[in-house]
Amino acid sequence: MFTGIVQKIAPLLSATPQGECLRVRIKKPLGWKLTPGQSVAVDGVCSTVVLCKSDFFEVEYMQETLIKTTVKTFKKNQVVNLERSLTLKDFVDGGLVQGHVDMRGKVKKVEKTGEMALLEITLPEALKKYIAPIGSVTVNGVSLTVARVKKDTFSMALIPYTLEHTNLGLLKKGDMVNVEVDILARYIVNARIKER
């Protein structure tokens, strides 16, 4: 479980296919202590650390993850958002994020106004029922508040801090992002469907 508050951004050192899997090496943030088996959200994807050295760590992805997320397009020097998993001692300062990406979304528009930006993403039909204005959504591991929902897009306002401390500030039209809907919205909608 995560909060959607990105702790660090870091470059990918390599992304190497291994059979049907993809092995990704990431520069380890200064001061981070990681151990094999630990969970880290990488651009919003819950990832298991399989190898850890002093200056890098590695995660591995199977076909299901490659199909549903942007992981398949990971490449050397790409900057990713990182968040370590919550412990029972941690203060929950964002939302509740599972790191279970629902699907990829395509950036339709990035509109900058002064130091702020409006990020508009295509809204896949399957996710429409889970996304509402002033509701929560996670994009590339960043917990955000939905500003507007249109027929086939949803948008979020990004403050300067988010633009500077996550990779959302690097997005441009046409880029693909990982989208995870709000966990509470998912349970509420599914409960209503079962009641019918």
Is 103-195 the same fold as 8-84?
yes
d(CA 196, CA 189): 11
Q: 188 by DSSP, 3-state: which?
A: helix
CATH architecture of 8-84: Beta Barrel (2.40)
d(CA 41, CA 7): 10
Strand 8-18 with 21-27, pairing? antiparallel
Quote the mean pLDDT of the chain: 92
| pLDDT for res 196 | 60
Check whether 120 has a pLDDT greater than 90. yes
Each domain of the chain, given as residue ranges in start order, spans 8-84, 103-195
pLDDT band at 125 (very low <50, low <70, confident <90, very high): confident
pLDDT digits (tens, 9 = 90+) for 29-56: 999 999 999 999 999 999 999 999 999 9
pTM: 0.93
| pLDDT for res 99 | 93
Q: Which of 44, 49, 20, 152 is nearest to 95 (CA)?
A: 44
Q: Which of 84, 90, 107, 88 is nearest to 169 (CA)?
A: 107
Least confident of 83-92, 150-159, 168-177: 83-92
pLDDT digits (tens, 9 = 90+) for 139-170: 999 999 999 999 899 999 999 999 999 999 99
d(CA 107, CA 70): 13
pLDDT digits (tens, 9 = 90+) for 57-84: 999 999 999 999 999 999 999 999 999 9
Sheet holding 116-122, edge to edge: 142-145, 136-139, 176-181, 103-113, 116-122, 153-158, 148-149
pLDDT band at 190 (very low <50, low <70, confident <90, very high): confident
- What does the DSSP assignment read for 44-105? TEEEEEEEE-SSEEEEEE-HHHHHHSSGGG--TT-EEEEEEPP-TTS---S--B-----EEE
Handedness of CA 86, 88, 92, 96 (dihedral sign): positive
Give the CB-side neighbour count of residue 157, counting CA atoms within 13 A.
9
| pLDDT for res 194 | 63
CATH topology of domain 103-195: Elongation Factor Tu (Ef-tu); domain 3 (2.40.30)
